[in-house]
Amino acid sequence: MKSLCILGSTGSIGQNTLRIVEQFPELFCVKALVAKSNITRLAEQIQRFRPEMAVVSDSGSAQKLSQLLPAGLKIDILSGPDGLKAAATLGSVTLVVGAMVGAAGLIPVLDAISAGKDIALANKETLVMAGDLVMGLAAERKIRILPIDSEHSAIFQCLQGNDSDAVQKLILTCSGGPFCHKPMNEFSGITVSDALSHPNWEMGKKISIDSATLMNKGLEVIEAHHLFGLSRNRIDVVIHPQSVIHSMVAFQDGSVMAQMGIPDMKTAIAYALSYPKRLPLGQALPDFPRIGALTFETPDMDKFPCLKLACIACDVGETLPAVLNASNEIAVQAFLDGKIGFSDIPGIIRDTMHHHTVFTSPGLDEILWSDSWARAAATTAVEKLCN
């Protein structure tokens, strides 16, 4: 039986992970749950799965959580960075699910790797910010990083039984988001509601906006570079509106392998949890006759400059991907808060990247400093647009 710590248990990935635990109680148990602000949902999860430990963002949330739980329920309730570390390194845990949104997921994943825990990784920012550090530490500690992102899970599955030296390139697919065929001159009128309406996938707000700008795909390019050890020029992106092919691997003999399925994250999550086995999830198969055709397009880098900025950050490496990620988080939140327009997001990221002095061979301190600097710089840029 695998014992889980779920970092981000109340989000989309966390909830789907718990559904799989519920479906296969003989295979998985939950030892620690971590959430940021949805205390009510966390309390419900605790009562259902009875973990040893729960962690929230601050002492006030911890007190609120305690009040929501039945008297006599035995559980350690912790908060803040110390609580995160305690959950990620808990002795009874064998697999840590990294599903926190944004840069906050980096440190607990590093702590978990240092403690010898395998990682099922959904938090792409962990590798975007510090891919060399994370993968280097995982190799040193002989830890497995099992991808949960549907695209990286697809590539991981296609590589099983194949020699990595035979890989010619990776092909990441994306739906194109809600604005794939919207004229560029209409982008200035895009509302938050428009941008949150993803055509195929159910996701959180931040990831939905990233999908609309194609930044999500740019972050995945950087993540794939680190996960699979290929240079950026061997990683392609194609728009595939049907979201049936989740990604592909092209081999040097001309063969291309694709992993296919309905757009549902449970398949990728279950594969990471149960690897190398597959679980009988009871998932529906794609209805190919109804779908009729699978189509592909080249993404327009001028229309979606966030993808281009991510590719630049990947090429430069060092601390620039951390700056890209941090400034994107600030810009996306400003858009969600109604402070800036949709078309302002890439400009804020571009300016922040332009003014950053890159650290070479950065350690964790330089990465975290660059993250903090970029957030401050992007916040200043947002304030200028608001005035």
User: What are the domain boundaries of the chain?
Assistant: 2-147, 150-262+285-312, 317-387
175 touches 201 (CB < 8 A): yes
pLDDT score, position 345: 97
pLDDT at residue 327, rounded to an integer: 98
Q: Which CATH architecture is the domain 2-147 placed in?
A: 3-Layer(aba) Sandwich (3.40)
Helical segments of the chain, H only: 12-23, 39-49, 59-68, 80-88, 106-114, 124-141, 150-159, 192-195, 205-213, 215-228, 266-274, 288-291, 305-316, 320-336, 344-354, 364-386
| Cα angle 357, 359, 360; round to 5 | 135
Q: Write the Ramachandran bin of 261: left for phi over 0, alpha for psi from -120 to 50, otherwise beta.
A: left
| Topology match between the domains 2-147 and 317-387 | no
Cα–Cα distance between 281 and 310 in angstroms, integer? Answer: 35
Burial class (CB in 10 A: 0-12, 13-18, 19+), 314: buried
CATH node for 317-387: 1.10.1740.10
* pLDDT score for 387: 78
* Span between the terminal Cα atoms of the chain, in Å: 56
pLDDT at position 386 is: 86
The predicted structure's pLDDT at residue 289: 96
At residue 153, the pLDDT reads 98
Query: Do residues 239 and 298 touch, judged by C-beta distance below 8 A?
Result: yes
- Decide: helix, strand or coil at residue 246: strand
Looking at the DSSP assignment, which residues form a beta bridge with residue 260? Answer: 245
Please state the pTM of the whole predicted model.
0.94
pLDDT of 125 reads: 87
pLDDT tens, N- to C-terminus, the chain (387 residues): 999 999 999 999 999 999 999 999 999 999 999 998 899 999 999 999 999 999 999 999 999 999 999 988 999 999 999 999 999 999 999 999 999 987 889 999 999 999 999 999 998 889 999 999 999 999 999 999 999 999 999 999 999 999 989 999 999 999 998 999 999 999 989 999 999 886 665 667 888 999 999 999 999 999 999 999 999 999 999 999 999 999 999 999 999 999 999 999 999 999 999 999 999 999 999 999 999 999 999 999 999 999 999 999 999 999 999 999 999 999 999 999 999 999 999 999 999 999 999 999 999 999 999 999 999 999 999 999 987
